[in-house]
A and B are shown apart, each in its own frame.
Chain A
Amino acid sequence: DQQVKQNSPSLSVQEGRISILNCDYTNSMFDYFLWYKKYPAEGPTFLISISSIKDKNEDGRFTVFLNKSAKHLSLHIVPSQPGDSAVYFCAASALGGTASKLTFGTGTRLQVTL
C-alpha cells in the first residue's frame, strides 16, 4: 500500500521555466512533509519541508505548497536550472509516532534542458 505517491515518473522542463513536481498521500496522520533531491549513486539531500499547519513554504527558487484537504503537495522550482536535473522524492512523517520515520514516494526524475 503506497501511502505516498508520485504519479509522474519523469518530467522534462526547459531551462528558465517553472518545474512543478507533484505528490499525493493517503495517510491522514501525516503532518510533516519533505522533499529530497538525489543525484545518481549518491544519497538524497534534504531540500525543503513543510508542516501541516502551513500551506506554503519558500526557500529561494524552491516553494512547496500543501493542500491538506486534497492530501496533495507540490514542489515548484523557479527558474529551473540544468543543475536541478535529479530525482526528487517526496516524503512524509507522522510526528506523533515513536520515531521520526519517513515514508517516501517513488520519485520523479526531473530533466532540465537547455
Chain B
Amino acid sequence: DGGITQSPKYLFRKEGQNVTLSCEQNLNHDAMYWYRQDPGQGLRLIYYSQIVNDFQKGDIAEGYSVSREKKESFPLTVTSAQKNPTAFYLCASSIYRGDYGYTFGSGTRLTVV
C-alpha cells in the first residue's frame, strides 16, 4: 500500500542535542513538507521540497534543517538552535503542481527533557 511513514512516533531529546525525524513516502510524490503543530495552533510550515536536492524555507524554519537526497525521503533535523522544539511534527507529500490535497504521515511527538 502506498503511504507516508514517519518514525519514531515518540522522541525524547535532551536540551542542546540535535535530533533527526524520519519521513519516507512510496507514493511517487514530487513534493514533500514538514509542518509543526502546537496546542491550540494550526499547522505551521517549516520546510518544503518540490524536487530532489531542492528545498525552501517555510514560515518557521529557524532552528531546523532538511535534506532531500532521494525522492522518497525528507528527513528533518531539529537543532539545538530551535528554542522551543517540543511539538507534534507532521510530514506530508503531494503531487507537484497538482490540485490534490496532501497525504500526511501519522506524526512524531518530540519532547525536550
Residues of A within 8 A of B (CB): 4, 6, 9, 32, 34, 36, 41-46, 49, 51, 89, 91, 95, 98-107
Contact = CB atoms under 8 A, between A and B. Distances in A.
B45 A44 contact: no
Contact of B42 (A34, A43, A100, A104): A104
Given A44-B90, A89-B43, A107-B42, A100 B107 contact: no
B94 to A, nearest CB: 5
Interface residues of B, number: 33
Interface stretch (B12-20, B60-68, B69-77, B96-104): B96-104
Given A95-B97, A106-B40, A101 B45 contact: yes
Contacts, number: 70
Interface string B21-46: 00000000001010100001111110
User: Closest 6 interchain pairs by CB?
Assistant: A43-B104, A106-B42, A46-B101, A104-B43, A100-B94, A104-B42
A100 B104 contact: no
Given A100-B94, A101-B45, A42 B101 contact: no
B101 A102 contact: yes
B31 A43 contact: no
A107 B41 CA distance: 7
A86 B110 CA distance: 22
B96 A99 contact: yes
A111 to B, nearest CB: 16
B95 A89 contact: no
Most chain A CB neighbours (cut-off 10 Å) among B90, B103, B104: B104
Contacts of B88: 41
B54 to A, nearest CB: 10
A101 B48 contact: yes
11 contacts: A4-B42, A41-B9, A41-B88, A42-B107, A43-B106, A44-B102, A44-B104, A46-B103, A100-B100, A101-B33, A104-B44
